[in-house]
Amino acid sequence: MPSDARLLMVDKAAVEAVLQPDQVMTAVREAFVLHSKREGRVFPVVREALSTGGIFGIKSGDVASQGLLGFKAAGFWPSNRQVGGEPHQATIMLIDPATGRPTCIIDGNAITTVRTGAAGALGLQNLARQDSTRVCVFGSGVQASIQLEFALRVLPALSEVGYVTPQRTRDDAFEARFQDRCKLVCATDPDAAVAASDVVITATPGGGALFDAQAVKPGTHLNCVGADTRGKRELPPGLLARARLFVDDREQATQIGETQWAPTTHCDELGDVFTGHITVNRKPDDITIFDMTGLALQDLTVARLIHERASATGLGASIAWPW
């Protein structure tokens, strides 16, 4: 009854206690499949600059057959660093589609981080050469770290990592996290690092091209994370035309992803690989790119997982929410 309604609130610590990489990959893969079959809807993205210097966005969608409805309010506030805070902020709300009432509010930062890492892993599993041994990572922050974590999980042959920071200097925390799992080198020449790699991962704020297009050798796969807003880019001009391009959502990628810089480039949606609508048939010299802008359905399927696990284990705080 309305008077008995309750709202579950799941904070960061509870989310991190529940998240398991394999389960997140399963949930994210389901989101790709739902999108490919058009059984899940992705609503238009809101992504706007604020007078405070932050960027605010909303990603939302639903899966009618599962009674799944919700949104993620998120963005980037660089000034948070000045007070020791995380610049990326995200909150997810699940809503009862029958009544419009919220059922669960979840700290979205950890979900965003891990679901993006899982999406990158699915891209690597299906698009990269499985004998890849060397990876170049642009960035050494939260997203660069999770992308490398998942890359090492799904590409067992990876053993050498060249990482590039904005200052071209070592990141001790990044190296400590991975030092027992691979050989790490802080690269000072981005073009040389790209040319020496089988896989390239770009996970930066998207302030401009990170390397020269000619540095990308045949057979390379690129996972591109940082372009998620109009005007952002990480890839150099001309590279998309040389590659086979995959996206999570075609329309979204042409609006806010790398694909915005060459919107007429043919691209395939990764979910169509999972449903068999397309096949990759990768040739040894193919250059492949996965332009990752993030699907609302990924947030929702992972949030549903959190909601179910938290409810079953007593994590989170359940409060009265009568109407």
pLDDT band at 1 (very low <50, low <70, confident <90, very high): confident
State the pLDDT at residue 3: 83
Q: What number is the average pLDDT over the span 219-237?
A: 96
pLDDT band at 273 (very low <50, low <70, confident <90, very high): very high
- Walk me through the domains of the chain, giving residue ranges and CATH numbers: 2-111+297-320 (3.30.1780.10), 117-293 (3.40.50.720)
113 SS3 class:
helix
Q: Are 144 and 201 in contact (CB under 8 A)?
A: yes
pLDDT band at 73 (very low <50, low <70, confident <90, very high): very high
Q: What number is the average pLDDT over the span 56-73?
A: 97
What are the tens digits of pLDDT across the range 6-52? Answer: 999 999 999 999 999 999 999 999 999 999 999 999 999 999 999 99
Strands 68-76 and 55-63: antiparallel
Q: Which H or E element spans position 240?
A: helix 239-242
Helices (H) and strands (E) in the chain, counts: 10, 16
Q: What number is the average pLDDT over the span 49-74?
A: 97
Q: What number is the average pLDDT over the span 204-232?
A: 96
Instruction: Quote the DSSP letter at residue 196.
Output: T
State the pLDDT at residue 169: 96
The proportion of the chain whose per-residue pLDDT surpasses 70, expressed as a percent, equals: 100
What are the tens digits of pLDDT across the range 154-204? Answer: 999 999 999 999 999 999 999 999 999 999 999 999 999 999 999 999 999
Q: What angle do CA 200, 203, 208 make, to 5 degrees?
A: 95
CA distance 40 to 65: 9
Distances (CA, A) of 196 to 165, 220, 250: 17, 10, 30
CA distance 150 to 154: 6
Give the global pTM.
0.94
Q: What number is the average pLDDT over the span 255-280?
A: 97
**In the Cβ-directed half-sphere of 77, how many Cα atoms lie within 13 Å?**
18
CA distance 122 to 154: 8
